[in-house]
Structure 1
């Protein structure tokens, strides 16, 4: 079965390749196949002219009495014989050689092309694909067009061949969104989430008004991204809801996506809207409503946890002012850096970068700085305080915009960080030499 299957595709390929090679050979040989009558006639004309000249000389000698009649007739016959022989040799030597050259090229050109195709690279993968298409190609097409729901047992013995045939079939019908959807289902069953998302993305681009495809694409992307809605998925769901405001699948995805993004109030609004839509429908929907109540409670718990975590984060309010003598040294493009670091030096545990424009007029800039301004993950104010480190608050006005202080920058005397209050006042009172 395999050898017969290979021959159908391989035989078609070889037939087309030979045909193309022969056509190319004929194109190359076309100038040689044109009649050579012009060149042949020119050579014959030269021979005739030479014959006429020699015949004229012979006639002149005969009339002058240099030769007798018998010699004249013999030499004239010889000239005619030489003319006929030259014409025959031209046809017998030149033309057969040309025919032989044409025949050689006509045979060798297709042969060299075939050798080049086989020897330039390894073609085993191509032959394997041809075998897969011939053995399970029809099964793949039936699966992708929903003619069958599951492949026969004999086709599943070589799953790699079936997958290859399905992918090739989809790319051959690249403008059919349904085939892309079925391919995405195949990838999903193989837990190839990113490939499934890409297949559904192509299906959605081919049929953007299909709500089922759009919702499937957004859902696949949602789970592939760890429960997060990216910008494209969010836009797709908004399009579905614009066409069908009561689409339950889109509402559920929006609720879960907004909750995961920390937009808890928006998520609760989607849950309430979805609950109202289900409650207004006839029939018993107690199980669905109970699930929505559970989802709402889960979102509420996530919100409370986030607020508790936020309240537990260390944060300080730093009021920065500038000594009046240094105000003329501040420029509009200068940058204010406020940081909290170990008294012994090292990278800051928190840092804030702001324009220094307000300080230029002698005002006070209030800066909120805390765990949210950590420079590195796991290295924040809370961890530093828990370690019992002695921390200081620093403030610098940089003319270059760089965090590292340079000559001419303005700075404040570092102030020790106290745990008894969150309000810190610091004055920029010196210029770095």
Structure 2
């Protein structure tokens, strides 16, 4: 049993004992009521009456029989007027202990029976079996788990996650956890782990670039606002950081900002050319990339520039994880000739500007140029999906389609309706 678990149960027991003592002790203590405030007054009055009777008897006012009768009556009145101490029997130590033990047992029984604790037991078992292995993996003491630990991968993953959360301020543990999620192809969890590591050490450029690159590829080659800020901060500190420059080249190219991409590529080429040694292979690769960017720029010119707005009344219905789909398709149906999928986070103030061209074709033989050459009637569509699905679903937000002319190069869309 781990020290943390022992501490947990110890505190639970102490809390139960304290509550039991506070609630039950006043009842078990018993009470004693003693109120003799009138005793002295009663005694004084009794004595005065006896003295008067003694005087009356001595003066012959009353006889012996009357004297005795009245004296006995006064004594009975004095006894009746006295307030006696009334007490409840105090409960002994053993009954008290029995009550406290029963409270603890009932509390434990309620904990076990109220809900399904299977997951908790599995977590404790994982901690006991592979907890140390998980810690060794996360601290870099070992690179691969032992064969016996790897057989129970679910327990190992659980133990690693628990370990990381127990050391939530250790950026290196979050980085190693992100590697685990990457191996499992769990991209959202991988990005969350990298984001936490970056927040813990924002000046660590290795972590920053790993996070930016993972975000770039997880978003299908789109450099979103967060990743762009991360790369920009790295370039401010290291203007000649080649990895950051290349990521800016790819991100700007993907976004259709080809002139900016060319500028970053030029900086990267100058930085590599200035280094000593043979850099011909790297420079040749950059020349190929430059030619590719130039070709994409020419194709983009032949596309359609699209401006998208969201109706103000629909803005509250948009979530942070929603996805914007913009497509050009045949009004008769079939696969789109061009489509783009963008995170809603890239829309600034409910607006977005983008270009659809042959670069955005789903199939090599089904491009926007092919559709126009065939005289197909094309429709421009825009939709915001809450689930991220390419298929339209109830609750999605959509725009009325716009029919494109044969040579139309720009269009405006307003997302103003909810898919029933």
- Aligned partner of residue 95 in structure 1, secondary structure: coil
Q: Deviations over 1:251-306 (max 9, x none)?
A: 111112122222233323323322332232233x44xx424433432442353245
Number of aligned residue pairs: 322
Q: Deviations over 1:31-69 (max 9, x none)?
A: 346684xx4432x77899999999999999997733999
Counterparts of 2:4 and 2:13 in 1: how far apart (Å)? Answer: 14
Pairing 1:17–2:8 present? no
Q: Which residue does the alignment assign to 2:179?
A: 185
Q: Which residue does the alignment assign to 1:297?
A: 288
Pairing 1:209–2:208 present? no
Pairing 1:167–2:166 present? no
Matches for 1:105-144 after TM superposition, within 5 Å:
105-144=99-138
Counterparts of 2:127 and 2:151 in 1: how far apart (Å)? Answer: 15
User: Which is higher, the Rg of structure 1 or of structure 2?
Assistant: 1
Q: Which residue does the alignment assign to 1:41?
A: 34
Q: Displacement of 1:170 after TM fit?
A: 1.5
Counterparts of 2:154 and 2:220 in 1: how far apart (Å)? Answer: 28
Q: Is the 8 A contact 1:214 1:237 kept in 2?
A: yes
Give TM-score, length-normalised by structure 1.
0.59
Counterparts of 2:34 and 2:214 in 1: how far apart (Å)? Answer: 80
Matches for 1:226-375 after TM superposition, within 5 Å:
226-283=220-277, 285-286=278-279, 289-308=280-299, 310-311=301-302
Counterparts of 1:385 and 1:277 in 2: how far apart (Å)? Answer: 44
Give TM-score, length-normalised by structure 2.
0.61
Unaligned runs of 5+ in 1: 316-341, 343-369, 390-402, 404-416, 423-433
Q: Is the 8 A contact 1:268 1:296 kept in 2?
A: no
Q: As a proportion of its length, which structure holds more helix?
A: 1
Unaligned runs of 5+ in 2: 306-330, 332-354, 378-399, 409-420
Q: Is the 8 A contact 1:61 1:67 kept in 2?
A: no
User: Please, which of 208, 214, 218 is the counterpart of residue 212 of structure 2?
Assistant: 218
Q: Is the 8 A contact 1:271 1:292 kept in 2?
A: no
Counterparts of 1:382 and 1:304 in 2: how far apart (Å)? Answer: 17
Q: Is the 8 A contact 2:209 2:231 kept in 1?
A: yes
Q: Displacement of 1:219 after TM fit?
A: 0.5
Q: Which residue does the alignment assign to 2:65?
A: 66
